[in-house]
Amino acid sequence: MSRSQSSQRSGVMNSASDGQKRRSIIAEDHEWSLALVPLLTTLCLQHIIKHFEEKPILHELQPSFKTYVLQRLPASLPLTITANLISDESYWKRCCEARWGLADISTYDNSWKQMFFERHLQSIIELFIPDTTDTKTVLDVLPLCQNYVKQLRVSQLLPPIKEPSRFDEDDGSESASDMGSDGPSMDHFDFRMLLDKLPNLKELSVVYCVKGCGMNFEWNLFEFTFRDCESLAKALNSCKTLQVFRIHRSKVDDEKCCVIVNHLLDHPSLQELDFSHNHISDRGARAIAKLLNRSQLKTLIVCNNQIRGAGAQALAHALAKNNTLTSLNLRLNRIADEGGQALAQALIKNKTLVNLHLGGNNMTEPAAVALSQALVENCALKSLNLCNNRLGADGGKVLEEGMTHNCTLVECDIRLTDVDQDSEYSICQALHANQIKTKHNHDPSAKV
């Protein structure tokens, strides 16, 4: 190569180099680079995600590819596709947070999927309007959620839409429950269409009321009718896996209590029954007493009702023969000394009850005397609540005497009972000694 050709070539290269230095690319995406072209595998997975609703492909993928897809699937996919296909908890966590925001899954067995389907079914029930909402909305979702629903906490039940009255004022008015064929087919949601189709349901809580009614308040929005009661009782009887049933603030009276209890007799799995904040009195208490020895109940809660001495006596008679119940809550009733003495006599014979709550029951010194005698002989009771009863100074002294012979009671609430400070101090000392003994019995190596 001649010297002139060499110099010419060198000049071209230098000018090209100078041109490259001067050239620049202005991109809208500052992170764009030829090095970031997606792999063919990634493109295929993105295609699967985009068309998942039309053709769901998941279990055929390798584990790493499956994880990639699950992390990017939208939470808005139809449940008919995802319910029985996707078990990944991270996906259902995204679904829950997208619908309800932050949530605590500790009450849902730490399962996001269980939480999603329980709250989804709960919302359908709470917004169901008899004779307006199509029952298919419930029946269609059952095959999707039946394997994942273990508990339902229904906090409201809507009544039928009230039609304008066509009766004259002189004709009087009738409730929807009594209007026969002219009224609605049901007064609230009919649980018979649901409970026997949930094979894993263990817990049901129900409140017959309407939340947030505001200026539209009417008493019939909070009415648990007899027709509601019959349908609920039959539904409970059909659910053989049910372990816990609660019905609060629903105006359950003696008649309705008897209907529910009669359908729960000899139930194979019921362990907890809660009738708190209702209108149950002595007749209802007698029905519950009958259930005590025809069930496997471990917990009975009937607080804030209208049970008096006769009802407490019926419960005490059943408790004396019972060998399964471990917790009884009769707080805020009216059992008075008559009921307190009967329950104390039952404690002498009962060997299984661990917790007894008798707070706010108008008991006085005679009940304290009977309970003191029971504490001497009972070796099972660990917690006794007597708060807000007028036991008085003398009642406190007899309880103090009973505690000197008791070695198992570790909790005793005697607030607002007019017990004097000396007796209260002595009772607390006895309780503390029992707590130390109990701890030592459970762990002999512990220091006393």
**Digit-coded pLDDT (tens) for 377-415:** 999 999 999 999 999 999 999 999 999 999 999 999 999
Q: Is residue 153 located within the same domain as residue 90?
A: no
Please tell me whether residues 110 and 200 are part of one structural domain.
yes
Residue 368 lies in a domain: no
Average pLDDT over residues 250-256: 96
Closest C-alpha to 213, from 278, 253, 252, 159: 159
Please tell me whether residues 113 and 202 are part of one structural domain: yes
Could you tell me if 205 and 134 lie in one domain? Answer: yes
Domain for residue 324, yes or no? no
pLDDT of the residue at 366:
96
What average pLDDT does this structure show over 408-435? 95
* Average pLDDT for the chain: 89
Query: Which tens digits make up the pLDDT trace of 292-344?
Result: 999 999 999 999 999 999 999 999 999 999 999 999 999 999 999 999 999 99
- Within a domain: 154: yes
* This prediction's pTM: 0.85
Is 373 within 8 Å of 402 (Cβ atoms)?
Answer: yes
Q: Residue 134 belongs to what domain range?
A: 104-161+187-212
Using the CB atoms, write b or e for 408-421: b if 16+ within 10 Å.
Answer: ebbebebeebebee
Q: Are residues 120 and 89 in the same domain?
A: no
Q: What confidence tens digit (pLDDT) does each residue in 304-314 have? A: 999 999 999 99
If residue 152 lies in a helix (H) or strand (E), which one and from where to where?
strand 151-154
Question: Span 102-130, mean pLDDT?
Answer: 95
Residues 6+ apart with CB under 8 A from 440: 446, 448
Q: Are 329 and 303 in contact (CB under 8 A)?
A: yes
| Chain centroid offset of residue 251 CA | 20
Cβ atoms of 308 and 335 within 8 Å: the answer is yes
Q: What is the C-alpha to C-alpha distance for residues 223 and 277, in angstroms, rounded to an integer?
A: 14
Q: How far is CA 7 from CA 1, 2, 3, 15, 19, in A?
A: 10, 9, 6, 12, 18
Q: Are residues 99 and 119 in the same domain?
A: no
Closest CA relative to residue 417, chosen from 435, 401, 394 = 394
Q: Where does a domain end: 60, 82, 103? A: 103
Distance CA 342, CA 348 (A): 10
State the average pLDDT over residues 111-132: 96
For the segment 32-48, the average pLDDT, to the nearest whole number, is 83
Q: What is the pLDDT of residue 314?
A: 97
- According to the model, what pLDDT value does residue 217 have? 81
pLDDT of residue 10: 54
Under 8 Å between Cβ of 258 and 287: yes
Give just the sign of the alpha carbon dihedral 264, 265, 269, 274.
positive
CB 72 within 8 A of CB 48: no
The reported pLDDT for the residue numbered 231 is 96
Asked if residue 139 and residue 207 are part of one domain, the reply reads: yes
Percent of all residues in the chain with a pLDDT value above 70, rounded to a whole number: 86
Q: Is pLDDT of 447 > 90?
A: no
Is 95 found in the same domain as 118?
no
Q: Strands 151-154, 327-329: parallel, antiparallel or unpaired by DSSP?
A: unpaired
Tell me, yes or no, whether 124 and 192 share the same domain.
yes
CA dihedral 431, 434, 436, 440 (to 10 degrees): -160
Identify whether 77 is part of a domain.
yes
Say yes or no: 117 and 138 in one domain.
yes
Q: At what angle do helices 309-321 and 282-292 cross, to 10 degrees?
A: 0
Q: Which residue has the tokens 């596709």?
A: 81
| Residues 116, 53 share a domain | no
Residue 194 sits in the same domain as residue 118: yes
Query: Which residue would you say has higher pLDDT here, 212 or 98?
Result: 98
Do the domain assignments include residue 299? no
Confirm whether 110 is domain-assigned.
yes
- The pLDDT score that the predictor gives to residue 73 is 95
**E strands within 360-446?**
383-385, 411-413
Domain count of the chain? Answer: 2
Q: Is residue 192 part of a domain?
A: yes
For residue 301, the 8-state DSSP code is E
Q: Is the pLDDT assigned to residue 173 strictly greater than 90?
A: no
Share of the chain above pLDDT 90, in %: 79
Distance (Å, whole) CA 245 – CA 50: 44
On the question of pLDDT at 183 being above 80, the answer is no
Judge whether 156 lies within some domain: yes
| Section 57-65 average pLDDT | 93
